[in-house]
Structure 1
């Protein structure tokens, strides 16, 4: 596979110039999160001409704020949603195969404090194994007390009866988004971040393109396309309403945002390579403690939220829930002073038609694809694990609506992503995703990164000068936040450390891009990730 040219200073200008050319694309995608990038890759890999615009950075929204799990959905199994679990388990295997440098198996342990918990949950997880079939990552095991303590050495020992061990996967969400973008570019797609879609172009009552503005230059751009896909996550209703206003139909809101909060603490709260899952906390919610890049993620919540803030903040009761429930299950209780970073994602849950805006736990986690009377294709809902299947569904809907002429079947099920190499030539990753950040995220591109200036200059937190240069030259990075939040994950791991690196990263980015790297804005953002509500 030939990689796209590095989008640094002049190359980004060339990308914007491509957008301004009088070209009619087959597909224009609005939104550079997991769903939009998946659609762009699927379409481009089938030979369609594709352009994608993202108003901020790729994966800036929910797609960089997941719980970092590639999973079939144990709780969906408990709800009886077998079809969703089966699809997700299939997609889990596909993702682990196509991006082994960014997605790997992870063992979970459910501690049991009641005698019947082990057989009850164990039997359910055996069904989970059966649904996975040959795609299973390892057998479910019934554990005694000693074995549970061996796997979870800091779990609360008092009252512990045993546990259940099962397998799922974890991944690096933002970096996966980046390799989706780069793989799509390698197949001919034109992708530009910091280019905001401002409206829809209608001709004869049909959607015929997208009006955009490049946020760096202010250039006004109109992209013409036979098919426009609205993949803006929790923000899809905005474009649906614009479409309805232009063509005379009432766009009923279809998204009910749900807020998920994650708290990050040091690894010594849960050492080892096993994650902990509490399937039913005091109020019936699920609690995770997941080792990730040298830290531990605690979460997550599931709280309705009406506003669509770009940087949503946790509610006081959410933080208290995570900390108090963690204290019940860990021998050392994490406190507010132990928090290294706190971050929030908004999930685009799909409203049922008779939804009254209540509890989001009852709203569909499955994705939905709708085609309006004017031909606007909207996709929302779902989860990271099933992004590829969602993209295939979008293309199928485009074919059914005669917005695209069918071409060869989709190829993404076996398409190795940038950095994965060929299935036969990449050894298993030597570093796990539970290890501190380092070179592992680059996969087969490690030699290319190490060849850049500053490979031996460690800035901190596993980040080198060469990695920053690589981010600017090949990974679409424009700002300090792009580098420290999504090319490396330091903002999400240790916000104070990330802020301390801002000056060095800004200097390198300015050399590479020639544009303002927005250092001060990042330092303010890092402080936000350290601030807990009181």
Structure 2
């Protein structure tokens, strides 16, 4: 049986007289990866997240583990090679939440077919020993067989290539568990409210507030790491009020539709839309994700909503490639994520001109800030960040250990028998059902999520709110927002019993969740 992360036990650690080696602000992909890296090297690590783990960008990706075919077209060979290497490591270290995905690019001219085939052969070659498949040209009949709903007018064939797919929020949770198992203290719903400095102006600690009970804690640390994604500038301004913004957020929007619109195992890749962007149609947990668009925006928020123009753009693009094509009434969920891209030097509005690589910054106060990058390269970003923190805090130079570190849930003796793409131990869940048969009850008709999974998530995955479970421990909010609203009262009741909450808490949680879920519907 797994050792659950008990939040009360984690809070008690804050009351001890510990001088932490590293305090990490931010519980998304980068922060959690950094906690795993630092804890596995033996450092004393505290990670805090203002909301729930991966609530922001890290749970709202296109669910791809990829090198970036588009970046290859832009000539960014180094970036692509690094991402392909990290893609291979994710497959090795977290096979329970990642898998190889085949993609098809339909082509409507012989020139396009030749261009994309040459480019993707290079893409394969750059992966080296971590290659996961061989790209190949497809005839028109081959494409129609694999994508029966593809627009056949002027179709000349296609290109088959391979990349990766994963469950972003589930990997984030497993990273948190991995960090905990290596000795890290991790807390969601814990906000950074003040940075502390010594007489020379160097950061030596932080004050944090528990947003559940409003308790505050003064934390002493040898280094502080700002890994807050699109919110890094907020922490940098806490350090220096005159700081100029480092990040230019880019919003990616997605719609979720029934799998019947692709009707197969292959994903659709549209390499050049009407305005030059890339669009994917990806099978995921029995549905299809269409996205992502990618547009610069001037503000950041924790719950962005796809803009109406972007939804129309996705549907219009799909209409050019699929027959029948999805309509507004076919959309099961919509969602948007913000990417923390390094701000351009001028006012160029194109996201093509904004760096996709990550950036590390050491402030005058010795605050370490990591920003940019993408999910696929989270491990390398974490390695670079910990290396800088070691230098800043003059810690023992212990080598990185994450290249071959198995992520929680991926051990071979457990993975093959009991784990699936959701990253949950179904043996443990079945044991709960044997102990209490009422936990067999499904949360909502049409989906296999059951009551035991809610109990399991409360005990082992630090679920504090209904949203935590329906949005990130299972993915029902992103798969079918209206179905998730139906499930919410049952989830709240189960959580209240497990966490010792009141009837008032149940009603408040359900109301809050319904308001949130409405943002994921049209």
Q: Same fold (TM over 0.5)?
A: yes
Q: 2:203 aligns with which of 204, 207, 217?
A: 207
Question: Do residues 513 (structure 1) and 494 (structure 2) align?
Answer: no
Q: 3-state DSSP class of the match of 1:451?
A: helix
SS in 1 for 2:423: helix
Identify unmatched segments of 5+ residues in structure 1: 431-438
2:518 alignment counterpart: 527
Are the equivalent residues in 2 in contact too, given 1:479–1:519 (CA < 8 A)?
A: no
| 1:526 CA drift (Å) | 1.2
1:84 aligns with 2:83: no
SS at 1:147 equivalent:
helix
| Cross-structure match for 2:461 | 475
1:501 equivalent to 2:487? Answer yes
CA shift at 1:251, angstroms? 1.8
Match of 1:433?
none
Spell out, residue by residue over 1:227-272, the C-alpha distance to the aligned partner (whole angstroms, 9 max, x if none): 1000000000011111113xxxx42211000000000000001111
Aligned mates of 2:225, 2:215 — CA distance in 1: 22
Shift of the alpha carbon at 1:428?
Answer: 8.9
* Runs (4+) off by over 6 Å: none
| Contact 1:254/1:350 (8 A) holds in 2 | yes
Partner of 1:384: 375
Aligned: 1:272 with 2:268: no
For 2:387 and 2:168, the matched residues in 1 are separated by 25
Q: Which TM-score applies when normalising by structure 1?
A: 0.93
Can you list the C-alpha shifts for 1:496-532, whole angstroms capped at 9, x where unaligned? 000000011000000111243511111111112112x
Give SS of 1:413's match. coil
Please show how residues 165-176 of structure 1 align to structure 2 within 5 Å. 165-176=160-171
In the alignment, does 2:452 pair up with 1:457?
A: no
**CA distance in structure 2 between the partners assigned to 1:482 and 1:30 by the alignment:** 19
Q: Does the 8 A contact of 1:28 with 1:229 survive in 2?
A: yes
1:294 aligns with 2:289: no
| Cα distance in structure 2, aligned partners of 1:171 and 1:447 | 22
**Aligned-residue offset at 1:90:** 0.5
Match in the other structure for 1:368: 359
Answer yes or no: is 1:442 the counterpart of 2:431. Answer: no
Residue in structure 2 matching 1:138, options 113, 117, 133:
133
Q: Is the 8 A contact 2:96 2:415 kept in 1?
A: no
Q: Distance in 2 between matches of 1:169 and 1:404?
A: 38
Q: State which drifts further: 236-245 or 43-52.
A: 236-245
Out of 226, 234, 237, the position equivalent to 1:238 is: 234
Alignment of 1:33-48 (within 5 A): 33-48=28-43
The match for 2:416 among 427, 433, 452 is: 427
Partner of 1:490 in structure 2? 476
Contact in 2 for aligned 1:234/1:348 (Cα 8 Å): yes
Residue number in structure 1 paired with 2:123: 128
Residue correspondence of structure 1 range 346-425 to structure 2 within 5 A? 346-352=338-344, 354-356=345-347, 358-401=349-392, 403-422=393-412
- Structure 2 residue corresponding to 1:259, chosen from 246, 251, 256: 251
Decide which of 185, 210, 228 is 2:224's aligned counterpart: 228
1:95-134 residue pairs with structure 2 within 5 A? Answer: 95-134=90-129
CA deviation string 1:450-506 (max 9, x = no partner)? 211455222232211111011100011111100000000000000000000001100
Once the 2 structures are TM-superposed, how far is the Cα of residue 130 of structure 1 from its aligned partner?
Answer: 0.6
The correspondence for 2:322, drawn from 317, 325, 330, is 330
What is the CA–CA distance in structure 2 between the aligned matches of 1:101 and 1:347, rounded to whole Å? 25
In 2, the alpha carbon distance for the partners of 1:38 and 1:112 equals 38
Distance 1:448 1:429, change over 3 A: closer
Q: 1:6 aligns with which of 4, 27, 43?
A: 4
Deviation at 1:357, TM superposition (A): 5.8
Contact 1:98 1:416 in 2 (8 A): yes
What is the distance in 2 between the residues matched to 1:429 and 1:456?
17
Secondary structure of 2:244's match? coil
Unaligned runs of 5+ in 2: none
Looking at structure 2, the residues matched to 86 and 448 of structure 1 have their Cα atoms a distance apart, in angstroms, of: 39
Residues 282-304 of structure 1: CA deviation (Å, up to 9, x unaligned): 11111110000000000111111
1:365 is paired with a residue of what secondary structure? coil
Task: Measure the CA separation in 2 of the matches of 1:67 and 1:404.
Answer: 38
Shift of 1:217: 1.1
The 1:299/1:365 distance shift into structure 2, 3 A limit, reads same
Q: Give the Å deviation of 1:29.
A: 0.3
How many residues in Structure 1 have an aligned counterpart in Structure 2? 510
RMSD: 1.6
**Structure 2 length-normalised TM:** 0.95
Tell whether the 8 Å contact from 1:199 to 1:239 is kept in structure 2 after alignment. Answer: no
